[in-house]
A = this chain, B = another copy of it.
């Protein structure tokens, strides 16, 4: 068998001599023999297969530490390792893509010189007719609109209040939408975690809450959303739901296993697939929207959206002359349908001035 010098071997394997010296040192690919006097490295042709696999994995940008373990696996296991590595690469790329899309939306909105707008708003929660307490929360200000629906019990009550309070603190004058996009969810989640640990007593339920909120800067709104509270936009008389419920029944609807009509009366309608739990694992939906004068926005908890059909919600929003009367009308509608759950409602009008 004719041995190859490092240069010949490197060319055949698609590596550089420099890289091969590193792999020698790292014990990843040792030369067959090393000349005692000159220090020349010599490789066997049979080592090419391993070298080429390493070169290939490096082209995938797999770290050398990972490659070291992959090359010692069976072909089948190695294939699985490559697949799993690429899965994580693709997941990371998708994450970067989402962040980039948000940034592009934000930057694009920056540039359009809009007429000065402001908002008029009303926020209210209602205990409903059945529940013994109220774990919904609602808040509205010139820069923040938010509703949160804590799970039943004192812990849920504290969680929804804490989430909204955290948002209020990070939406200060001079702060930009970038902050809201980057940190609103995680700081709300931390606040929920803190509200849980400060409870002192166990047995008062789970510290879990949904959160749907708009942070406003000029004519741009950043929407953060997790759980089954909802945001709607009323524009030109059309009602558009702009959030997607993180709930078990919604996932059944998405996969076609359930019709939207069946969903409303499903026995597990309350089951959430995502929520703020204070564990730092919150993956909320985030997006940027541009508003126009004349738009009316509604944020509400499922105490409204589950019991009042959306055509009725639309009619009430269209008919109400101002946010206060809209909120009153919607809560009255929920009571007309029995008000089996707490109700949170925020309505905001976009106006020029």
Q: State whether B14 touches A183 (Cβ < 8 A).
A: yes
Contact of A53 with B by CB under 8 A: yes
Interface size class of A (residues with CB under 8 A): 35 or more
Contact of A76 with B by CB under 8 A: yes
Q: State whether B90 touches A104 (Cβ < 8 A).
A: no
Nearest CB in chain B: distance from A204 CB, A: 32
Contact of A82 with B by CB under 8 A: yes
Q: State whether A107 touches B82 (Cβ < 8 A).
A: yes
In the complex, chain B residues whose CB is within 8 Å of the CB of A179:
12, 48, 52
Nearest CB in chain B: distance from A106 CB, A: 8
Residue of B whose beta carbon sits closest to that of A181? B56
Contact of A79 with B by CB under 8 A: yes
| Interface residues of chain A: helix, strand, loop or mixed (majority) | helix
In the complex, chain B residues whose CB is within 8 Å of the CB of A57:
103
Q: Tell me the bound Cα distance from A17 to B57 in angstroms.
A: 35
Stretch in A93-101, A150-158, A296-304, A314-322 touching the partner: A93-101
Q: State whether A82 touches B96 (Cβ < 8 A).
A: no
Contact of A343 with B by CB under 8 A: no
Nearest CB in chain B: distance from A137 CB, A: 25
Contact of A75 with B by CB under 8 A: yes
A interface residues (Cβ-Cβ under 8 A, vs B):
12, 14, 45-46, 48-49, 52-53, 55-57, 59-61, 74-76, 78-79, 82-83, 85-86, 89-90, 93, 96-97, 99-100, 103-104, 107-108, 110-111, 174-176, 178-179, 182-183
